[in-house]
Chain A
Amino acid sequence: MTTKISPHEGELLSAYLDGQLAPKERARLEARLREDAQLRSSLVELRRTCTILRSQPRLRAPRNFTLTPQMAGKSARMAPRAYPALRLASVLAGMLFVLVLVGDLITVPRQSALPQPAPNQAARQVAPKMAVIPTATSEALPGLAANPQAVAPPTAAADTLASGAGAPTQAPSFAQLESPSTPTEPAPSMAAAAMQKLGEAGQTETAVAATPTTLPATLPLEKAVPVSPTETVSGIEPTEEPTLAPAPEPTLELAMVPTLEPTQAPIPEPTQEPTLEPTQEPTLEPTQEPTPDPLPQPEVSAAQEQPNPTVFEPAYPPAEQLPRSPDRTILRVAEIFMATIALAAGLIAIYLRRIGRG
């Protein structure tokens, strides 16, 4: 049961409860309270209401409402300022990385497709290995007709052996360069280069180039020792030999085949073109798979029997050392640099964004 009081009385009672009345007002109200029982009960009810309100337990905050810097809007402003720049840097570095990578990938087959380096390597491998092979065959099969032939015309025999064995050995060497289309490309280019150099290089050079190859052929009794003098004479750097170490294995196998066959049929050897092509084809097909590779190379060897060694010898050092290694190392360094920048910028951008989001 609530007692009815006027709003003004209610205001007075409310203020009186809070001790907010002026002394004069308060004295007047207390005098009225003593007389007016209804007003007194109203005061009691109001006081109870206040008591109920104040009796309510204060809730504890369910968690801390402290602000993080992001809530305060501090680094939320910082992050967007740095974020676009980093994102742009990341994208630019990524694009440059792809550009450099593509450039690297393009230049690698180009360099291998250059006329000088790839055939040179092949021919260089052939030249010393060829010197080994006749000796090995001559030792294994003492009744070889190749040896007397090599002795009688020293330069010619060496050339034939070099070109004959060089043709199949070029095939695996190209295959190792991982350019399957290159065997067709370097063949004409090599021929063209050989034709150009043919006029420049005299036959004296061919004799010079041929003499190292003849050395092991003329001295078959020395087993593996002649190899090292041939290498040094032909001017091959020792560092390049171990790098091309995997190449000799197939060259030896392939070189064995043509050299063995002439021994079985010694007569066709002087005529190189017809004999080498048919002999290589049937022998290589059952023994080893890379038959398409040796096919173009007999043509090459046939086109440049003599000039081959003459061309290769002077062309080695400038063709290989200058264009290849510095460019590639620069490209590799640039690739790594770009990739690192792209990665770092991207990670920082992600980190900042995460911070900005809170």
Chain B
Amino acid sequence: MDEVALIDSARRGDLDAYNRLVLAYQDMVYNQAYRLMGSLEPAEDATQDAFISAYRNLSSYRGGSFKAWLLRIVTNACYDELRRQKRRPTIPLEPLDSEDEEVESPRWLADPSESPEEAAERAELNQALQRCLGDLPEEFRAVVILVDVQGLDYGEASQAIGKPLGTVKSRLARARLRLRGCLQGMWELLPAAFRLVEERNL
């Protein structure tokens, strides 16, 4: 069954059809929420909220990219949650080392399949990227995540943020320029093989 048929079934109240769509898109929606929120548990909540909200508002989907439509819902859910967090600021619990200093790259975020060094570097890069993304204004952050992390094209990104293409272009450019400054020095943390491929493309 293709996506359009599943969406039609889900619109008629077929929850199983909708759940098949959920399974197809849950990784994407969860990643969007994680990159926007910067932490795992709020991302989980936002993802679930987004899928519930999407099911209840299926009638508002008017064709086009279903992926972009879903991403718009989760992005808005994250905005709501971030605004709630701003009203009630909380101090995140970071792990402490032996000298009571906060450990910036907690080990449990590491992928166990990697070597410890790679895992540490990746975790460090991930932390740095997440910090830089968090420094961006929300609307810039959303666009750069949609395009550079999720791999959407401008048209889909435009649909996902509900803004014209020109807005996507300018926001994306400004977000990248800001990130460029923030991520200065992080290039060396990328795996060597990846760097080689990138250098060759220059």
Is the pair B31, A59 in contact by a Cβ cutoff of 8 Å? Answer: yes
Is the pair A11, B169 in contact by a Cβ cutoff of 8 Å? Answer: yes
Is the pair B174, A10 in contact by a Cβ cutoff of 8 Å? Answer: yes
Of B22, B55, B176, the most chain A CB neighbours within 10 A belong to B176
Is the pair B23, A64 in contact by a Cβ cutoff of 8 Å? Answer: yes
Minimum CB distance partner of B27 in chain A? A61
A354 contacts the other chain (Cβ, under 8 Å)?
A: no
Is the pair A66, B23 in contact by a Cβ cutoff of 8 Å? Answer: yes
Determine the distance from Cα of A38 to Cα of B18 in the docked complex, in whole angstroms. Answer: 51
In this complex, how many residues of chain B approach chain A with their Cβ under 8 Å: the count is 52
Determine the distance from Cα of A10 to Cα of B172 in the docked complex, in whole angstroms. Answer: 10
Return chain B residues, CB-CB under 8 Å to A71.
Answer: 48, 52, 55
Q: A52-B125, A56-B126 are in contact. Are A62 and B177 (CB under 8 A)?
A: no
Is the pair A15, B173 in contact by a Cβ cutoff of 8 Å? Answer: yes
Query: Which of A43-51, A79-87, A121-129, A138-146 is near enough to bind chain B?
Result: A43-51
Q: How far is the CB of B138 from chain A (nearest CB, A)?
A: 17
Q: How far is the CB of A261 from chain B (nearest CB, A)?
A: 89
Q: How far is the CB of A65 from chain B (nearest CB, A)?
A: 5
Determine the distance from Cα of A53 to Cα of B149 in the docked complex, in whole angstroms. Answer: 6
Q: How far is the CB of B201 from chain A (nearest CB, A)?
A: 8
Return chain B residues, CB-CB under 8 Å to A15.
Answer: 169, 173
Determine the distance from Cα of A14 to Cα of B169 in the docked complex, in whole angstroms. Answer: 8
Minimum CB distance partner of A15 in chain B? B169
Minimum CB distance partner of B56 in chain A? A73
Q: How far is the CB of B187 from chain A (nearest CB, A)?
A: 5
Return chain B residues, CB-CB under 8 Å to A53.
Answer: 129, 144, 148-149, 179
Q: A13-B173, A61-B30, A64-B23 are in contact. Are A72 and B15 (CB under 8 A)?
A: yes
Minimum CB distance partner of A11 in chain B? B173
Determine the distance from Cα of A324 to Cα of B174 in the docked complex, in whole angstroms. Answer: 95
Return chain A residues, CB-CB under 8 Å to B44.
Answer: 62-63
> For window 64-106 of chain A, which residues contact chain B by CB distance below 8 Å?
64-67, 69, 71-74
Is the pair B176, A49 in contact by a Cβ cutoff of 8 Å? Answer: yes
Determine the distance from Cα of A61 to Cα of B15 in the docked complex, in whole angstroms. Answer: 20
Determine the distance from Cα of A160 to Cα of B198 in the docked complex, in whole angstroms. Answer: 127
Return chain A residues, CB-CB under 8 Å to B170.
Answer: 7, 11
Partner of A65 from B13, B47, B144, B172 at Cβ < 8 Å: B47
Minimum CB distance partner of B22 in chain A? A66
B34 contacts the other chain (Cβ, under 8 Å)?
A: yes
Q: How far is the CB of B15 from chain A (nearest CB, A)?
A: 5
B73 contacts the other chain (Cβ, under 8 Å)?
A: no
B192 contacts the other chain (Cβ, under 8 Å)?
A: no
A34 contacts the other chain (Cβ, under 8 Å)?
A: no
Is the pair B173, A2 in contact by a Cβ cutoff of 8 Å? Answer: no
Q: A18-B147, A53-B148, A61-B30 are in contact. Are A10 and B176 (CB under 8 A)?
A: yes
Is the pair B29, A65 in contact by a Cβ cutoff of 8 Å? Answer: yes
Q: A52-B187, A52-B190, A72-B52 are in contact. Are A58 and B15 (CB under 8 A)?
A: no
Determine the distance from Cα of A10 to Cα of B56 in the docked complex, in whole angstroms. Answer: 40
Return chain B residues, CB-CB under 8 Å to A14.
Answer: 169, 172-173, 176-177
Partner of A46 from B111, B169, B176 at Cβ < 8 Å: B176
Convert B20-45 into 0s and 1s, putting 1 for each residue whose CB lies closer than 8 angstroms to a CB of A: 00110011011100100000100010
B194 contacts the other chain (Cβ, under 8 Å)?
A: yes
Determine the distance from Cα of A47 to Cα of B176 in the docked complex, in whole angstroms. Answer: 9
Is the pair B184, A2 in contact by a Cβ cutoff of 8 Å? Answer: yes
A28 contacts the other chain (Cβ, under 8 Å)?
A: no
Q: How far is the CB of A186 from chain B (nearest CB, A)?
A: 70
B64 contacts the other chain (Cβ, under 8 Å)?
A: no
Is the pair B149, A74 in contact by a Cβ cutoff of 8 Å? Answer: no
Convert A145-188 into 0s and 1s, putting 1 for each residue whose CB lies closer than 8 angstroms to a CB of B: 00000000000000000000000000000000000000000000
A-B pairs with beta carbons under 8 Å apart, 6 shown: A1-B184, A7-B174, A18-B147, A46-B180, A62-B40, A72-B55
**Shortest beta-carbon contacts, A-B, top 5:** A14-B173, A53-B148, A11-B173, A66-B19, A61-B26
